A and B are shown apart, each in its own frame.
Chain A
């Protein structure tokens, strides 16, 4: 299992109306500043399978120390970087926060580029930006300006212990941020070891062009991309459910109810200015 980024915290829900954004900060272009909240635009596709005890009780994941064989509480753990085998340097949240260069604490759009000029290899994760602190008008101003120029804004900023290269797009009147990989995180064909490009017979190219034209569709929506494996699992579960020996019930109802977050509801509330 890959090591978890230790700064990642679970989103907290307080009742259901006050949800803390993933990041809050300021978006700037020129001298205009737009305070914004940032929320994920991607969500886990389906609830994962739960680990159960032989009696059917949901289990909890715990960290423990190999030395003492004792389970550890959150405040008994720190984040460390391995500088030598088995030798770690501890880095605190506060240090990580203070290390961010000043100019990267805001999303400062220093450049605008044609929306379709960014190769998709760069895109990593999507987020929606919503206006905060009476910034609706400045927010809309940026949306309108981007709409009419078909430009995306580029910036770098630090979020949760990591610097992100980001492209901001307008999307149905809303600002969407896509984090991107840095240039040194994308391998070149030469680094991968792919052969040198070669001149190919024009007839072969034309043959493929014909094939592409024949199978081309003008309209396409990725919205129909279903997770077939997840659907198959759901079907199987429904079938198994009919047999009582396949089903277990537990009493405890209080456990992690607050972890179920409806991102769409949160975004709707945030965009209609009803977060406070």
Chain B
């Protein structure tokens, strides 16, 4: 079944505009648990209480505060927050186009598909142009009272918009020291490179299945019927051998496997 668009907007490029609809590109498949109270096996509720006496404070009585220093709060009202909301707009503005490798994997947060909302020619032409030029557009837009920055790119001939994280949410490896300790030798590095090349392949996501999710669901189904299987404890194994001999052995094993295949 076709998905429902969550937002409608216009891609603004130079002087032209391309009307688009926005759809979530993900469907969450994680196993959803609820928190229950252990006596009645009913879902728990949440409320806010006074820390000293445990008395409930109702939503109408709660005020919000910004902690400027420990124990010191500046009260922020709903009107204050309202005044900070960005101006509503339907425009997705593209400020610049950049090579994709300039955006490290760390920045990507949530992917959305854009679908054409009228002008299909312009939509597919832009996707094709992005693919040909190997560029991602830096997009700015306001959706549901929140401003976003994202990357506009072509994926298999369609346009996708990926939200990007803010600078203060991302820790950059460049700010971290290199790990301490001894350096591997040239010979060891060459062997490791060889090992990596033997394991080289295409990225094919369909090769990986969430087996654990399946196991958990199966376990729940059996437990629901009162026939939960007995599970055995996990033992962790850890072996230490010299790097050199392990590398040599790994290469041997993989070579044999390749030849056999």
Among the listed A101, A120, A146, A213, which residue makes an inter-chain contact with B215, where contact means beta carbons less than 8 Å apart?
A: A101
Chain B residue numbers with a CB within 8 Å of A163 are: 210-213
Tell me the minimal C-beta distance from B20 to chain A in angstroms: 11
Check A258 for interface membership: any CB of B closer than 8 A.
Answer: no
Chain A residue numbers with a CB within 8 Å of B216 are: 91, 96, 99
- How far is A78 from B1 in the complex, measured between Cα atoms in Å? 35
* B: contact size bracket: 35 or more
Among the listed A90, A130, A264, which residue makes an inter-chain contact with B175, where contact means beta carbons less than 8 Å apart?
A: A264
Q: Are B46 and A61 in contact (CB under 8 A)?
A: yes
Q: Are A126 and B105 in contact (CB under 8 A)?
A: yes
Q: Would A174 and B234 be within 8 Å (CB), given that A41-B171, A154-B203, A162-B30 are in contact? A: no
Q: Are B199 and A29 in contact (CB under 8 A)?
A: yes
Check B167 for interface membership: any CB of A closer than 8 A.
Answer: yes
Tell me the minimal C-beta distance from B16 to chain A in angstroms: 8
Q: Which residue of A lies closest to B205 (CB)?
A: A183
- How far is A86 from B40 in the complex, measured between Cα atoms in Å? 11
Q: Which residue of B lies closest to A81 (CB)?
A: B220
Q: Which residue of A lies closest to B110 (CB)?
A: A124
Chain B residue numbers with a CB within 8 Å of A250 are: 71, 73
Q: Are A43 and B102 in contact (CB under 8 A)?
A: no
- How far is A151 from B153 in the complex, measured between Cα atoms in Å? 22
Q: Which residue of B lies closest to A247 (CB)?
A: B74
Q: Which residue of A lies closest to B249 (CB)?
A: A31
Q: Would A198 and B101 be within 8 Å (CB), given that A71-B49, A208-B129 are in contact? A: no
Q: Which residue of A lies closest to B99 (CB)?
A: A218
Q: Are B71 and A251 in contact (CB under 8 A)?
A: yes
Check B26 for interface membership: any CB of A closer than 8 A.
Answer: yes
Q: Are A88 and B36 in contact (CB under 8 A)?
A: yes
Tell me the minimal C-beta distance from A49 to chain B in angstroms: 4
Among the listed B63, B74, B206, which residue makes an inter-chain contact with A183, where contact means beta carbons less than 8 Å apart?
A: B206
Chain B residue numbers with a CB within 8 Å of A42 are: 106, 165, 169-171
Q: Would A32 and B250 be within 8 Å (CB), given that A3-B35, A90-B36, A171-B104 are in contact? A: yes
Among the listed A57, A68, A97, A268, which residue makes an inter-chain contact with B52, where contact means beta carbons less than 8 Å apart?
A: A57
Among the listed B106, B205, B251, which residue makes an inter-chain contact with A176, where contact means beta carbons less than 8 Å apart?
A: B106
Q: Would A248 and B181 be within 8 Å (CB), given that A31-B246, A142-B192, A213-B133 are in contact? A: no
- How far is A272 from B176 in the complex, measured between Cα atoms in Å? 10
Q: Are B234 and A105 in contact (CB under 8 A)?
A: yes
Q: Which residue of A lies closest to B215 (CB)?
A: A99
Q: Which residue of B lies closest to A239 (CB)?
A: B74
- How far is A86 from B98 in the complex, measured between Cα atoms in Å? 51
What is the number of contacts between chain A and chain B, taking CB atoms within 8 Å? 557
Chain B residue numbers with a CB within 8 Å of A145 are: 189, 192-193, 195-196
Interface string of A157-168 (1 = CB under 8 A from B): 010001101010
Q: Which residue of B lies closest to A50 (CB)?
A: B65
Chain B residue numbers with a CB within 8 Å of A172 are: 173-174, 176, 178
Check B141 for interface membership: any CB of A closer than 8 A.
Answer: no
- How far is A241 from B70 in the complex, measured between Cα atoms in Å? 14
- How far is A98 from B147 in the complex, measured between Cα atoms in Å? 43
- How far is A163 from B109 in the complex, measured between Cα atoms in Å? 19
Q: Are B219 and A99 in contact (CB under 8 A)?
A: yes
- How far is A26 from B2 in the complex, measured between Cα atoms in Å? 42
- How far is A5 from B34 in the complex, measured between Cα atoms in Å? 8
Q: Would A128 and B181 be within 8 Å (CB), given that A6-B35, A31-B249, A218-B99 are in contact? A: no
Q: Would A99 and B74 be within 8 Å (CB), given that A79-B33, A119-B155 are in contact? A: no
Q: Which residue of B lies closest to A65 (CB)?
A: B37
Q: Would A184 and B238 be within 8 Å (CB), given that A65-B42, A112-B196, A137-B243 are in contact? A: no
Check A76 for interface membership: any CB of B closer than 8 A.
Answer: yes
Q: Would A187 and B26 be within 8 Å (CB), given that A32-B247, A53-B57, A137-B182 are in contact? A: yes
Q: Are B133 and A209 in contact (CB under 8 A)?
A: yes
Q: Are A26 and B238 in contact (CB under 8 A)?
A: yes
- CB neighbors of B among A152-204 (8 A): 153-154, 156, 158, 162-163, 165, 167, 169, 171-174, 176, 178, 180-187, 189, 191-195, 197-198, 200-201, 204
New contact pairs (16) apart from A172-B178, A247-B75, CB-CB < 8 Å: A3-B34, A30-B247, A59-B48, A71-B54, A98-B231, A101-B215, A105-B234, A112-B201, A136-B180, A139-B181, A174-B173, A183-B206, A208-B129, A212-B135, A233-B84, A249-B73
Q: Can you name 20 A-B pairs with beta carbons within 8 Å?
A: A30-B199, A45-B166, A50-B73, A52-B62, A59-B50, A77-B37, A88-B36, A88-B41, A99-B216, A109-B199, A130-B179, A137-B181, A140-B183, A151-B196, A186-B205, A211-B13, A215-B96, A216-B96, A220-B98, A236-B84
